[in-house]
Amino acid sequence: MKRFFVFALLLTLIGGAVLAQDNLIRYASYASDEGAREADEALVAQFREANPDAELEHSITDHEAFKQAIRAFLVAAPAPDVLTWFAGNRMAFFVDRGLAGDLTPLFEREGWYDTYAPGFVALVTEDEKQWFVPTSYYWWALYFRTSVMEEAGVTPPTNWEELLAACDTLDEQGLIPITIGTKAPWTAAAWFDFLNMRINGPEFHRDLMLLKESYTDERVVAVFDHWRELYVHNCFIDDSAAYEWQDALDFMNRGEAAMYLMGGFITDSVPDEIQDDYDFIQFPVIDPEMPIGIDAPTDGYFMAANAGNPEGGMDFLAFLGSQEAQQFAADELGRLPTRTDVDTSNFTEAQQQGIALVQGADLVLQFYDRDTTPEMAEAGLNAFAEFIADPENADVTAILESLEADRIRIAEEQAAEE
């Protein structure tokens, strides 16, 4: 069904090249998750109300399907004018291939060099030009149900030994220690990211993502050794590949599971009546000598180089990157703003806690599939899925040798392109 929807949408976009009016603004979004969809639709409604003469076509594709369909979107004639996407390597991939529009004039026109935090301007800059409008970021942390943990007599774990002990205690009481849905395996990548950062340090992890370190390095082997140990202690839900991430969250919402390693958007799918029962901590320390790294992905929007209405697209991007739009995302979804003029005085305790978590880290990275190349990310996600399908018997040596072969090939191809 997802493939059919993506194909139908693609035909619509391509066919629109004949029928589209010059003033039509085409907006392709991946905001399909509950909460995010409503906020996306509300932003579109606000723009339409403020710009009654503008014609905006809004399409929402399933989040995971969008990741595969976006390359087809960008070569359509015309391509969508504005698209949702991710900062970091994921954005750089399209910039390097000439598929993204130069937004430097927009940054200059809107004065964003002064209103956006410098780090975020730097994040979206390549060859001294800006290519992406970063509008929000969020933290990743180990979430837990306070009542479930308290009733089980378990304290939120701050180190490796406490994490294993918590799994043992919760499992003995018939509870799921950690829920996770890996039907789309990006959720498993979070475990690789944090285990690698806690065992080997965030700088090693960053260099591995940049294809500068080897996947067969004994330090990466240690990551899988620790990961396997979690399965030995029955930390994870059974058959995680049967669940999307939201489906796995249902176990936690019902009080059947205690913890979930997830991004701050997790609360979008938590019922209002139990929101206050959710709390989070940073991922437990494994080697106290290592600096603290954290994933804090940055989301936003960009324009296709092949946009049919770049002028209209610029106007819509100006709205999406405005103080008004970021204030809305902060108030309605709890997203942390990239602008410095957003009022955060009414931020919840959780939001302030998230900001402190990010600011307290020694190195902030994006996420596995945002920090490395798309091809390497695909190989990595497939490898993680293979491992967690049978973690106690998986041939880690073979998995890592395959990843290393991919890394070498991709690095050589990149060098040749340069």
CATH number (domain holding residue 97): 3.40.190.10
What per-residue confidence (pLDDT) applies to 64?
A: 84
209 close to 372: Cβ distance less than 8 angstroms: yes
Based on the structure, what is the number of domains in the chain?
2
pLDDT at 7: 43
Considering the domain architecture, whether residues 244 and 309 belong to the same structural domain is answered as: no
- What pLDDT shows up at residue 167? 98
Other beta carbons within 10 angstroms of residue 76's beta carbon come to 22
Helix H or strand E encompassing 331: helix 323-333
The two beta strands, 140-145 and 278-281, are antiparallel
Domain-embedded: residue 166: yes
The pair phi, psi for residue 281, each rounded to 5°, is -135, 165
Q: Is residue 13 part of a domain?
A: yes
If asked whether residues 127 and 197 sit together in one domain, one would say no
178 plus 322 within the same structural domain: no
Q: Return the amino acid letter for 54.
A: A
**Closest to 309 (Cα-Cα) out of 14, 99, 24, 83:** 24
CA dist 195 and 228 (Å) reads 11
Signed CA dihedral, 184, 188, 193, 196: sign only:
negative
What does the block give as tokens for 212?
A: 């500068």
Neighbours of 244 (CB within 10 A): 16
* Same domain (yes/no): 7, 70: yes
272 is written with which tokens? 């209002």
Residue 32 lies in a domain: yes
**Whether residues 271 and 303 fall in one domain:** no
Gap between the Cα atoms of 205 and 285, Å rounded: 15
Order of strands, sheet of 24-29, starting from the edge strand that comes earlier in the sequence:
55-60, 24-29, 82-86, 298-303, 133-137, 336-337
Please check whether residues 288 and 302 belong to one and the same domain: no
Q: Which domain holds residue 130?
A: 2-137+298-341
Same domain assignment for residues 91 and 218: no
Taking the C-alpha atoms of residue 323 and residue 23, their distance in angstroms, rounded to an integer, is: 25
Asked if 217 and 254 sit in the same domain, the reply is yes
Q: Coil, helix or strand for 86? A: strand
Q: Cα dist. 20→57, 184, 214, 354 in Å?
A: 10, 35, 49, 43
E strand residue ranges, 156-287: 176-178, 257-263, 278-281
Domain shared by 389 and 401, yes or no: yes
- Residue matched to tokens 């976009």: 13
Low-confidence ranges of the chain (pLDDT < 50): 1-21
Of the candidates 32, 16, 132, 28, which has an alpha carbon nearest to the alpha carbon of residue 80?
28
The beta strand positions in 272-402, using DSSP E, are 278-281, 293-295, 298-303, 336-337, 363-365
Q: Which residue has the tokens 């100006």?
A: 318
Same domain for 84 and 133? yes
Distance from chain centroid for Cα 264: 10
pLDDT of residue 334: 78
Do 155 and 283 lie in one domain? The reply is yes
- Domain membership of residue 357 (yes or no) is no
Q: Work out the mean pLDDT of the chain and round it to a whole number.
A: 91
Question: Is residue 88 domain-resident?
Answer: yes
pLDDT at 348: 86
In a shared domain, residues 315 and 409: no
Q: How far apart are the first and last CA of the chain?
A: 40
Q: What beta strand segments (E) does 18-95 contain? A: 24-29, 55-60, 82-86
Place of tokens 């339409």: 48
Q: Which two tokens stand for residue 319?
A: 């709205």
Q: How far is CA 256 from CA 159, 170, 290, in A?
A: 23, 10, 34
pLDDT of residue 22: 60
Q: What is the pLDDT of residues 49-85, one digit of tens each?
A: 999 999 999 999 998 899 889 999 999 988 999 999 9
| 297 neighbors 263 (Cβ within 8 angstroms) | yes
**Residue in this structure with the two tokens 């939120």, named with its chain if needed:** 156
Structure tokens at 146: 């306070």
